Amino acid sequence: MSRPPGVVVITGSSSGIGAEAAVQLGRHGWTVCLLARRAEELESVAARVRAAQDTGAGGTVHAYPVDLTDDADTAAVVEQLLADHPRIDVLVNNAARSIRRPIRESLDRLHDYERTIAINYIGAVRLTLALMPRFLDQARRGDGGGHVVFSSTMSTQVPIPLFSAYLGSKSAAESFARSLLAEHGHEGVTTTIVHFPMVRTEMSSATSIYAAMPMMTADKAGRWIVKAVVDRPTRVTSLGGAAAQAGMSVLPGVLTKVVTPQIRRMDKRLARRTRPDS
């Protein structure tokens, strides 16, 4: 580990990528603050971190149940975080909601977009803004500033159909991350955007055809978060994601025409493989 352990706040840490990242960071001695709505699941993750702590290999852990779409609830948890921890080193905005639905079937479902943006974008911005005074104060004192990680998706780098609500909210969060870095990076408040491929989690499992799709494990995805927290690159992505992003910058129309038919064919193959009679 190239950076000494500190205090990290991880949202969406009751399961999936957030839970695995929390356990791994705890093993490396970080003080982990778990944020999510589900108190019972949060405590289960906290127990996993404490198990490493009991062996002398891990850091401490604190669970903070919270609804990040609620102003008052978020304000209360931020007040508690700031009271409990004299410094906060890293915020990981990992909580998310995904919806897979064609735009044609969403014409009377504006609420799909409102629900995804409420947590994926507004929730992340709400918490980031609330912790910014602490980060800026740490920067002014020459005490390391702060770092904000945004869990995103390779699908913002590639023209992907059927996820317009999810991808719109994630793209908004990425733009906010870039603005934050541009405005405050020189002061010591930095950002990382993590572009995950498909990861095997509760969220991805909600789409039945993805049972037949090879995916990154949550454990490996957690290691990507650890890299973002410890090494603090501007971006964590795959080679394919980086190449696609470059292609979209240069030839977006061509790449869209090439990629989207392949994705439609892939979805058809996955659907055949997951049929009960297949």
Catalytic position from the list 64, 113, 121, 166: 166
CA pair distance 201, 205, nearest whole angstrom: 6
- Cα 249 to Cα 155: distance, rounded to the nearest angstrom: 14
Q: Identify whether the C-beta of residue 246 lies closer than 8 Å to the C-beta of residue 45.
A: no
The b/e string for 34-69 (b: 16+ C-beta within 10 A; e otherwise) is bbbbeeebbeebbebbbebbeeeebbebbbbbbbbb
Collapsing DSSP states into helix, strand and coil, what is residue 213? coil
Instruction: Judge residue 7's burial from the number of C-beta atoms within 10 Å of its C-beta, 0-12 exposed, 13-18 middle, 19 or more buried.
Output: buried
Q: How many residues does the chain have?
A: 278
Residue 64 falls in the annotated catalytic set: no
User: Which residues form the catalytic set?
Assistant: 166
